[in-house]
Amino acid sequence: MKDQIDNLIQQSKKHTITTKEELENFRLKFLVKKGLVNELFQEFKSLVGEEKKIWGKEVNIAKQKIEAIFNEAQLKLSTDDSSILEEQDLPGYFSNLGSRHPISFVVDEMSLIFERLGFSVATGPEVEDDWHNFSALNFPYNHPARDMQDTFFVGEDIALRTHTSSVQVRLMEKGELPIRSIMPGRVYRNEAISARSNCFFHQVEGLYIDKGVSFSDLKQTLYNFVQEFFGANTRVRFRASYFPFTEPSAEMDIYLGIETESDARLTKGTGWLEILGCGMVDPNVLENCNIDSKEYSGFAFGLGVDRIAMLKYGVKDLRTFFNSDKRFLDQFVNL
């Protein structure tokens, strides 16, 4: 038995292993199920009594030595391969620099302006229940916005939010007054897709509730925003309007003029383009959210981000923002 063990160890030591092929040949000869090491174990099993006790340890030592030769050679070959790769002058992989979406740029810029005016930023879910999306905001049950033609319903009294005003309701329900916050986010309406509208779009809404808040506070806040975003000389006008959740309500327009064909088309020949709706929060909405309307008042506004982005970047078709055309998006890499 001793001669067999010594002979096996000597055979393994004589093997030259400098390639992966030689390493594999070594493994096949000594370490597989039908290899020489396993044959030695089969021979060992035939021993009985005292002989088995004497040679058991030696057989295991022989196996460990042969495995050590294999492992050392395997490690050396893998290290050599790594060195070869490091020394080679391999071509680098370069990817094109990406950018944020232009809509994101506009939302960030708008948010920074309102943050400087003291507004915080709040967000909420895009799938809303009837209370937060409609009822708390003073929408009658027969209001057209509840109809399937305007709203994407995903369940009974559950819909994709049609405005970020639902976040306003959630803030008011917390009862942590005063509130001065904006709510940027994506909203959904079942409308025809065209150069001026889409079935989803982006809003930045604002809410300010405190004691003694007036319509003049609302106007001055929006004047400050327009002057910072569009420029100090931007002409602005307010027009009376109607929204279920504000009273009185207004829409705010900025003057583009009709000097160019695109401006004339965008403003429908008037020179004025509506950019937001606003108004004083209806007392019913305050009461729905457990806020005393005799003690507190507030204003709310909602800006259409997509249309403002069209003005900022000179985009004539709203759909351009969402068709994933890399040639268009590459223009914003360095912004």
Tokens of 151: 């709203």
Comparing 269 with 186, the larger pLDDT belongs to 186
Distance CA 184, CA 121 (A): 8
Q: What is this structure's pTM?
A: 0.67
Give domain limits for the chain: 2-87, 102-332
pLDDT for 56 beyond 70: no
Q: Which helix (H) or strand (E) holds 155?
A: strand 153-155
Question: What is the secondary structure of 156-204 as a DSSP string?
Answer: TTEEE-SSTHHHHHHHHHHT-SSEEEEEEEEEE------SS--SEEEEE
Q: Tell me, what's the pLDDT at 170?
A: 95
What are the pLDDT digits (tens) for 220-264? 999 999 999 988 888 999 999 999 999 999 999 988 888 888 778
What residues pair up with 180 in beta bridges, in sequence order? 208
Looking at residue 165, its pLDDT comes to: 93
Share of the chain above pLDDT 70, in %: 88
DSSP β-bridge partners for residue 181: 120, 207
> Residue 329: is its pLDDT beyond 80?
yes
Say yes or no to pLDDT of 209 above 80: yes
Q: What is the CATH number of domain 102-332?
A: 3.30.930.10
pLDDT at 149: 59
Q: Give CB contacts under 8 A, 24+ apart, made by 67-72.
A: 67/31, 69/12, 69/13, 69/15, 69/17, 69/26, 70/23, 70/26, 70/27, 70/30, 70/31
Write the DSSP assignment of 197-258 as a string of letters.
Answer: --SEEEEEEEEEEETT--HHHHHHHHHHHHHHHH-TT--EEEEEEEETTEEEEEEEEEE--S
- pLDDT confidence bin for 157, thresholds 50/70/90: confident
